[in-house]
Amino acid sequence: MTNRIQRFGILGLMVLATGTMSFAQGTGEATYKAKCQMCHGATGTGDTPAGKAMKVVPFTKSTVADMTTVIKNGKGKMPSYNGKLTDAQIKDVATYIHTSLVK
C-alpha cells in the first residue's frame, strides 16, 4: 500500500512539473502573439507589413539572456518593454522565441 501511495505521489509530481513547463511556454507564446507578432511575424522573420516597414531582421541564434536584454531595453526601432511587461513575462517570451522561432 505504501509503495502504491509513493508511486501516485511521484506520478503526481511529474504531471505537475510537466504542466508548469508547458504553462510557461504557453505564456511566452501568448505574450509573443500579443506584443511581438505584429512586427516580427508568426515565424519571427519580420515578414509583416509593419516588420517590412521597420526593416525587422529575422531572429538569429541569440541567447535567452541577449533576447531578454533587447526586449527589456529596446534596440534600434524596437521599443523598450521595461515597465510594460514583467521580468517573468520578458523571460518567458525570450525563452519562447529562443526555443520556437530562432533559425
Contact 45, 102 (CB under 8 A): no
CATH of the domain at 76: 1.10.760.10
Contact 72, 80 (CB under 8 A): yes
Residue 49 within a domain? yes
State how many domains the chain has.
Answer: 1
Confidence band for 2, pLDDT divided at 50, 70 and 90: low
Cβ within 8 Å of residue 64, ≥6 positions away: 91, 94, 95, 98
Residue 79 within a domain? yes
Give the structural domain span for 70: 22-101
pLDDT tens column, 21-78: 444 457 999 999 999 999 999 999 999 999 999 999 888 878 899 999 999 999 999 9
Residue 42 within a domain? yes
How many Cβ atoms are within 10 Å of 45's Cβ, its own excluded? 15
Residue 70 within a domain? yes
